[in-house]
Amino acid sequence: MIRYLLKRVTSGIALLCLVSTVTFMMVFGATGNVARNILGENATADQVTALNSRLGLDRPLMVQFGDWVSHAVRGDLGPSWTMSESVASALASRLPVTLSMVTIAVAMMALLSAMLGIAAAVRGGWADRAIQVVSVAGFAMPNFWLGLLLVLTFSVKLGLLPATGYVSFSASPSAWAASLVLPVTSLVLSGIASASQQIRGAVIDALKQDYVRTLRARGVSPRSVLYRHALRNAMPAALTVLSVQFIALLGGAAVIERVFAIPGMGSLTVSAALIGDVPVLMGVVVTLIIVVVLVNILIDFLNAWANPKVRMS
Amino acid sequence: MSDIDTAQAPIPAASQRRHFVRSVLTNPTGLVASLALLIVIASALFAPLLAPNDPSAVQIFKVNAVAGDGYLLGGDGSGRDIWSRLVHGGRNTFLGALITVVIAASIGVTAGLFAGFYGRKLDLVARWIADGIMALPALIVLLAFYQALGASIYLSMAVFGVMLSPGFFRLTRNLVNGVKHELYIDAARVSGLSDLRIITRHILLSVRAPMVIQTSIVAGIAIVVQSGLEFLGLGDPSTPTWGGMLQDAFSNIYVSPQAILWPGLAITATVASLVLLANAIRDRMQQGGAQVRAPKALPLAVSEPLPQAAPDLLLDVRDLVVAYPANDGWREVVKGVSLSLRRGEVLGLVGESGSGKSQTAFAILGLLSPGGRVLSGSILFDGIDLGKSSEDEVRALRGKRIAYVPQEPMANLDPAFRIGFQLVEPMMTVLGISRAEATRRALKLLARVKLPDPERVFRAYPHEISGGMAQRVLIAGAVACSPDLLIADEPTTALDVTVQAEVLDLLRDLQKEFNMAVMLVTHNFGVVADSCDRVAVMKDGRIVEINAVADLFAAPAHDYTRMLLDSVLEDGETRTYRPPVTEGMRA
């Protein structure tokens, strides 16, 4: 168990190093126009040169990388090129917003997919058909278009929910919840589309196992066979789906935050990408990889709980 | 003999290929999806003919105009024709999707073929990279790379292709691993074909259909992500795109709300057709292996009124017919079996695989595999007609009065729970006793089935004990509530020869101790001779002979029985070979 986790952590750190390096080479290797982007069309050549030198872009790429790494390991991701705060503090204020939204979305998705998937596995019928419809609709409808339709219906036409804007939880929990209803709804549909299908398949597989017949032959109640035994054995497959969907939702949040004007990682990334605020982009990528690695380790723990064979190895 | 046949098997003739395409197209979903896709692609190709206006031409008085007056779907926020932009936008969408698909497929399939075929280190490295790429939020990476890639959306879509290549990689790798040990691949090797020829000719052909499915799925993802990037403002603003149109419509949502419908509908319809087409192909591929729905026209299970069972019979099965749904109605696996058991009697049920003996046993337990049904006949247990009892009533008998010992000990313990819990839970449910009392009894039972160190076994998980120990655990579980009837389905087949005798001894001792009736399903006459009072011989779902063991061995009445007995005597050793299980059913 310890060795297994150690392996996953090492693998995660290797991934982090590899992705940071590639990303750095890509984004810092192409900073030719950044100074002009920031200064605007009317800047003189001297001003551009001066800014390049102030940002350290006139140094060789490897020197810049060494400099970035030596600061990054101490948690210093440098100053933003376009905002008046450091990358670390910008991330610190944005990450909780995105994480809370994505976590709620993943939880909702897990709950709804499990309900739908189990119902379809056990009963078939309407639940099966619902899964078929949702799986096509959720896949084919871009989440931001769904978001736009929701804004159009519930905010513009009906005026029930706020169209845009985010209220922090500490300011007003009820307003916070209201501001998340539409974004979370737009995020979860595509997740439910794939997760419910996979959970359905995993539960059907689990119920086909020989030990299910033996448990039933011993007089164990159908409820316990399904919810205790089959579900526990379907867990590893469901957890894999959750980890894939968590990553997908982190990406999907970028567009959804734009639609609903939510000040999270996504909107930070989009504005940094459009203007070329390279340190912010580096910071976003590194932070999200760490989040993904941590979530995957958490899922490994849950997997070990559900599957004793993993725990022992 | 069959090597030559199978060597040709995976290369379908051209006519078969045409047949496959036709059968996908005759499926209504497949047809509608293909037509819709064709229309969207054609309208993108012939956009200049279909678009009445230049997609970039601005008419200032038609800003956010309603439909009509030359603008079929109205004007956008800058006064451009929405319809013209819509058909032109398809071009950029399809080109982007094409780039993504081509790059994802060529990287993924190549890597998958080599990793699957050569395996080992290459496979390990490739899998780590694939897992790593899949752990990245693609949209964020594309945003981060945007400045480096420049304003062209196509470069972004090429990078996205790299990020989607793991899907193709995994698929190809798994498929190659599945086929590379097939006989026809070995045959090709022996006949001296080079690895490259084998990979391209044999393996690539056999993985083709899943590739088509993966391609349409990836194309769908690409279209959605590309529109997302364009919606965020990436890409060339002078090109009409569906995502860009949505961005424009979003900024004018209060003035001209209907404008957000058209580009979204275009994306959704296109991607939905891709998914539905993939589903149609998948359905076509799975035909045959798929679960068949129960035919509705056939009669429900009925049990005819019967003369009262003899009072000393514990189990009285009459004219039992068990069937599973097949393409052309019901396929009967048990065709009118009658047998009976007295209290304390041991009946052997003998036959080859597929003779229907296990299905007879499952029918008595009320635990047929999904889809299976008792079509006619009756099962009387201690005077209770199981066919007329509700599921709950039958369940109340299971475990308590009718118990079951399965064939494969390791597959019959839930791998996720400790052995102790798997003994304690049924006892608490069936006997309504406390957890402490159930634990005490479980430990006693484990000791009774002669397991060394019962406490350790109680705490162990199934994967920590041997097959022989697992079978003892299962026997302990079966006799936990002192049942009247024990149904043992080939209880020794999966065990080592040395363990077989011990397990049979244990079953015999327990039978005497509890005075249970035992129905011992087996294909082994040696087991029958050792343990049974009477024996029934099954063939093709029917009982061909039923008699006392000594009489049957002395004077087998049926040719089939004679043949089975002869084969035992000739071989000396009874056979322990088990043919592969088909369609999830054992018989």
Query: B463, A142: Cβ pair inside 8 Å?
Result: no
**Quick check: A87 pLDDT over 50?**
yes
A224 Cβ under 8 Å from any chain B Cβ: yes
**Rounded distance between C-alpha atoms, residue B290 and residue A246, angstroms:** 32
Q: Which burial class, exposed, middle or buried, applies to B378 when counting CB atoms under 10 A from its CB (0-12, 13-18, 19+)?
A: buried
Q: At what angle do helices B120-134 and B82-118 cross, to 10 degrees?
A: 150
Task: Sort out which chain A residues have CB atoms less than 8 A from B268's CB and list them.
Answer: 137, 140-142, 145
**Rounded distance between C-alpha atoms, residue B269 and residue B224, angstroms:** 11
Q: At what angle do helices B82-118 and B242-251 cross, to 10 degrees?
A: 130
A237-266 pLDDT, tens digit per residue, is 888 888 888 888 888 888 999 888 889 999
B548 three-state secondary structure? strand
Task: Sort out which chain A residues have CB atoms less than 8 A from B399's CB and list them.
Answer: 217-220
Residue with tokens 């551009």: A48
pLDDT at residue number B577:
43
Average pLDDT value for residue range A213-221: 92
pLDDT at residue number B169:
92
A186-198 pLDDT, tens digit per residue, is 999 888 988 888 8
Task: Sort out which chain A residues have CB atoms less than 8 A from B233's CB and list them.
Answer: 270, 274
A295 Cβ under 8 Å from any chain B Cβ: no
Q: Which of residues 246-285 of A touch B (CB under 8 A)?
A: 247-248, 250-252, 254-255, 258-259, 265-266, 269-270, 273-274, 276, 278, 281-282, 284-285
pLDDT at residue number A300:
83
SS (H, E, C) A157-199: HCCCCCCCCCCCCCCCHHHHHHHHHHHHHHHHHHHHHHHHHHH
- Whether the model pTM is above 0.90: no
Task: Label the pairing between strands B534-539 and B346-351.
Answer: parallel
Q: Which burial class, exposed, middle or buried, applies to A174 when counting CB atoms under 10 A from its CB (0-12, 13-18, 19+)?
A: exposed
- Tens of pLDDT along chain B (587 residues) come to 333 333 333 444 455 666 677 777 777 888 888 898 899 888 888 878 877 777 777 777 777 777 777 777 777 777 788 888 888 888 888 999 999 999 999 999 889 888 887 877 888 888 889 988 888 888 888 988 887 887 788 889 999 999 999 999 988 888 887 777 777 777 777 777 777 777 777 777 766 778 888 899 899 999 999 999 999 988 888 888 898 898 888 888 887 888 888 899 999 999 999 988 888 887 777 654 344 444 444 444 444 545 555 667 899 999 999 999 887 788 899 999 999 999 999 999 998 888 889 999 999 999 888 888 888 888 999 888 888 888 888 888 998 899 999 988 999 999 999 999 999 999 999 999 999 999 999 999 999 998 999 999 999 999 999 989 999 999 999 999 889 999 999 888 888 888 888 889 999 999 999 899 999 998 888 888 888 999 999 999 999 999 998 888 888 888 888 888 887 765 444 444 444 444 444 44
Q: Which of residues 145-164 of A touch B (CB under 8 A)?
A: 145, 148-149, 151-152, 156-157
Query: B144, A27: Cβ pair inside 8 Å?
Result: yes
pLDDT at residue number A230:
92
B406 Cβ under 8 Å from any chain A Cβ: yes
Nearest to B256, CA basis, from B89, B71, B93, B91: B71
**Rounded distance between C-alpha atoms, residue B528 and residue B537, angstroms:** 11
A94 Cβ under 8 Å from any chain B Cβ: no
A44 to chain B, closest Cα gap in Å: 21
Task: Sort out which chain A residues have CB atoms less than 8 A from B220's CB and list them.
Answer: 139-140
B430 Cβ under 8 Å from any chain A Cβ: yes
Q: Give B378's DSSP letter.
A: E
Q: Which residue of chain B is at minimal alpha-carbon distance from A265?
A: B140
**Rounded distance between C-alpha atoms, residue B260 and residue B76, angstroms:** 10
Q: Which of residues 197-256 of B touch A (CB under 8 A)?
A: 220, 224, 227-228, 231-234, 246, 249-250, 253-254
From the list A15, A140, A219, the residue facing B272 with the nearest CB is A140
pLDDT at residue number A296:
87
Q: Are A244 and B130 a contacting pair, CB within 8 Å?
A: no
Average pLDDT value for residue range A279-293: 91
Q: Are B342 and B568 a contacting pair, CB within 8 Å?
A: no
Is this complex scored with an ipTM above 0.95?
A: no
Report the DSSP beta bridge partners of residue B542: B539
A32-64 pLDDT, tens digit per residue, is 677 777 777 777 888 888 887 877 787 888 888
pLDDT at residue number B330:
87
pLDDT at residue number B334:
92
